[in-house]
Amino acid sequence: MVKLDTKVWIVDKDVDKSIGYPQIKEAAEYLRKNEVVAFPTETVYGLGGNAMSPLAVQKIFTAKGRPGDNPLIVHIAERDQVREIVSSIPDQAISLMEEFWPGPLTLLFPKGKQVPDQVTAGLDTVAVRMPDHPVALALLKESRLPIAAPSANRSGRPSPTTAQHVWEDLHGRIAGIVDGGPTQVGVESTVLDVSAPIPTILRPGGITIEELRMRLGEVQLHMSLVDEKVPPKSPGMKYTHYAPRGELWLVAGDEEQMVRTIQRLAKEAMEKGEKVGILSSDEHKEMYRGDVVISIGSRHDPTKMAANVYQALREFDHQQVTYILSETFSPEGIGLALMNRLHKAAGGKIIK
Ligand code: TXA
Ligand code: MG
C-alpha cells in the first residue's frame, strides 16, 4: 500500500465560528476526488469516502484492513438524499427519520441499484444515517455526496473518539483527518431493521431501545444479542471487535462480589508478573490495586461511561497493560450498548 501524507484539518466543533471554513472545503474536495478522509460524528470518528465510487469504497476497506463481507453505513446531510440510495422507504422509517435524524440511529432500507455492491457487501439492504454533528454535516453538504463511513479505526481496534485515536491507527493510510475535538456519545449508532415484522435492533447504540419503543411500540433485540449461539445479522457483529491488546476479562455478579473478585484476580495476576489494568467505575476506583486503574464514570451515569469506554481501552494499550479486568454494568438505556461493546472487546470472556 502506498504511504500517504495524511493531512490534519483542525476545525471548531461549532463550524459556524470557523468563517468560510476553508479546511472543510479542502477536505470535501478530497472526498470528491475519491480520496478517504476521517471526520468527527456525534458517536465516533468515521472514515469517509464517496459511497457512489467503488474506488473510494475500496480505499476504505484497504485502509482499515476490513473484511470485504462487512457492509458500510452511508451518511447523508439531507433527508432527500435517501431517495438517491434506496429503492423504497418503509412507512416506519419515515416517522423514525423525522424523530431521530440527525442522530445516532442507522436504518436499513432496500438498496438502490446506484449504490455499488461493495458498500453493502453484496446485501440487498443499505444502511443509512444522518449524523448529528455540525462538522460532519458541513463536510457532507460541502461534498454534495453520500458518504460511506465505518468507524475510523484499524479493523478490530477500539473505535476512535478523538482525532488522535484516528492518527494512531491510520496515519499514512488515509488522505486526511478533520479534527473537530472529542466525540459526544462515544459508542456507535443503533442499527435498526424496520423491514422485519417487529422492528429489530441489530446493533445497540446511541438511540436506546426504550426510546425506540416510545415511538414504535414493539421493538426487539436480534436473537444474536440475546443468545451467543445465534449468528448476528449485522455482519460486523460477528468479529471480535474494539479489543485492547491486553487480555480482557469481564467480571459479573452483584456489586460486592464483583469488586471482591476483581481485587483477588488482580492480586493473583500481579503476583504472576502481569501488568494489570482495571476498568472501574467512580464508586469502586479507590478499592482496587492494579498497575493501571481507570474509572469511566459513575455507575449512575451510563451516558458518561459510554462516552469514555473506548478511550479507556486505548489507554490500557498506551500503558502496555497485559491483563485487564473490567467491571460490568446495568444494560439499561445506553448501558446496553456499553455492555455489548465490552462483551465484544473481551471476545465473550466473562467471569460469573
Ligand atoms: O455511529 C456509527 O454508526 C459510526 C459513525 C462513523 O457513523 N459508524 C460505524 O460504522 O459504526 P461501522 O462500519 O464501524 O459499523 C457498521 C455496522 C456494522 O456492524 C455492519 O455490519 C452494520 O453496521 N451494517 C452495515 N450495513 C448493514 C446492512 N445492510 N445490514 C446489516 N448490517 C449492516
Ligand atoms: Mg466499527
Peptide bond into 102 cis (omega under 30): yes
d(CA 219, CA 210): 9
Q: Which residues surround ligand 2, an ion (CB under 5 A)?
A: 151
**How many A from CA of 207 to the centre of ligand 2?**
17
Residue 120 CA, closest ligand 1 atom number: 29
Q: Enter the pTM of the model.
A: 0.96
**How many A from CA of 107 to the centre of ligand 1?**
10
Pairing relation of β-strands 7-10 and 176-179?
parallel
Run of H or E including 308: helix 302-318
Per-residue pLDDT of the chain (352 residues; tens, 9 = 90+): 779 999 999 998 887 766 678 999 999 999 999 999 999 999 999 999 999 999 999 999 999 999 999 999 999 999 999 999 999 999 999 999 999 999 999 999 999 999 999 999 999 999 999 999 999 999 999 999 999 999 999 999 999 999 999 999 999 999 999 999 999 999 999 999 998 889 999 999 999 999 999 999 999 999 999 888 888 888 777 767 788 899 999 999 999 999 999 999 999 999 999 999 999 999 999 999 999 999 999 999 999 999 999 999 999 999 999 999 999 999 999 999 999 999 999 999 999 9
What long-range pairs does 87-94 form, CB within 8 A, spacing at least 24? 87/111, 87/112, 87/113, 90/194, 90/195, 92/194, 92/199, 92/216, 93/194
Residue 131 CA, closest ligand 1 atom number: 7
Cell 461534498 sits on residue: 143
Q: What is the CA radius of gyration of the chain?
A: 20
Pairing relation of β-strands 73-75 and 125-129?
parallel
Q: For ligand 1, atom 20, which residue shows the shortest CA distance? A: 236
Residue 127 CA, closest ligand 1 atom number: 26
**How many A from CA of 150 to the centre of ligand 1?**
6
**How many A from CA of 31 to the centre of ligand 1?**
20
* Single-letter amino acid, residue 90: P
